[in-house]
Copies of this chain bind each other. A is one copy, B any other.
Amino acid sequence: MVVVIQCKDKVGLVADIASVMARFGVNILTMKEYVDINEGMFFARLVIEPFNDIVVLQNALQQALPSDALVKVNPEPEKKIVVLVTKEYHCLSDILIRNHFKTLGATVEAVIGNYADLANICERFDVPFYEISHEGKDKSTFEHEIKKRLANHKFDYMVLAKFMRILSPDFVASYPYQIINIHHSFLPAFIGASPYKRAFHRGVKLIGATAHFVTDDLDEGPIIVQKTIPVDHTYSVSDMVRAGKEIETSALVKALHFVFEDKVFVFNNKTVVFE
């Protein structure tokens, strides 16, 4: 059972947490904590032995800790997600496979695509796919349709698995730190469109992928995972695209695992990740 805590730092926090656990006879299996000294913030993630009364433990911790403390005992153990896609199959397929074999750490409730290309693969895995085209619509109409479609689905996170549209601040604000994107570059290099093309022209020797939470600023949200792989002069743009897909897929799924296991904290546009 997981417990996550985030609050202003002060002397004795670990003792306070640990003595609540000791009081209830709960064994701490692992505890990772981190103090951001510059920011004066405290973050902790505990794995404890199962304990029946979650509410009682939650309240006891809340009482023992500063009033600003965000405490979650056993945060949603059965995460649900929706996935937004365009045409590229690699990230979605990887998610669908893990979803199918129950190793994703979350359940895919639905997939939304602004093209129909990926309907078939979803169908093969019995996952609902909704085509919502952006064509001939302004952004707010398009996003309104997405929201309306999702109204029937409960979900904890929205995953942009190569969804090649920029979402409006309004839309993003509806899902604070719940939208996870995979960007096909080593951010902050090549923010925005066509990163592989620009990487090619710059003659880089590594290409990258970045999984991050989405915020108002394009490609500026808190980074969760980054990966790079070597390329060389023989790589055309399309070779880079092809090679990049491998790390886009693996960076995204790694980030999702961290998030779904409640290992990721966000503060000040950065993440604390207890690997």
Provide the bound-state CA to CA distance between A272 and B222, in Å.
Answer: 30
Q: Does A148 contact B (CB under 8 A)?
A: no
Q: Is the CB of B273 within 8 A of A232?
A: yes
B residues within 8 A CB of A236? 38
Q: In the complex, what distance in Å separates the CA atom of A204 from the CA atom of B186?
A: 9
B33 x A203 contact (CB < 8 A): no
Q: This chain: how many copies in the complex?
A: 4
Q: A100-B121, A124-B125, A186-B186 are in contact. List 19 more A-B contacts (CB 8 A).
A: A13-B28, A14-B14, A14-B18, A15-B18, A16-B18, A17-B18, A18-B18, A30-B234, A31-B31, A31-B33, A38-B236, A89-B101, A187-B189, A188-B202, A202-B270, A203-B222, A203-B223, A206-B227, A232-B273
**A212-244 near B? 1/0 per residue, CB < 8 Å:** 000000000011111110001110100000100
Given the known interface contacts A35-B30, A89-B97, the answer about A204 and B233 at a Cβ–Cβ threshold of 8 Å is no
Question: In the bound complex, do residue B203 and residue A269 qualify as a contact, i.e. CB atoms below 8 Å apart?
Answer: yes
Partner of A36, one of B208, B227, B233, B250: B233
- Interface residue ranges, A against B (CB under 8 Å): 11-19, 21-22, 25-38, 89-90, 93-94, 97, 100-101, 103, 121, 124-125, 186-190, 202-206, 208, 222-228, 232-234, 236, 242, 246, 250, 269-273, 275
Q: Can you list the 10 inter-chain pairs with the closest CB atoms, starting with the nearest? A: A203-B270, A15-B18, A189-B189, A12-B22, A14-B18, A15-B22, A205-B226, A233-B272, A93-B97, A11-B27
Once the chains bind, are B11 and A15 in contact (CB under 8 Å)? no
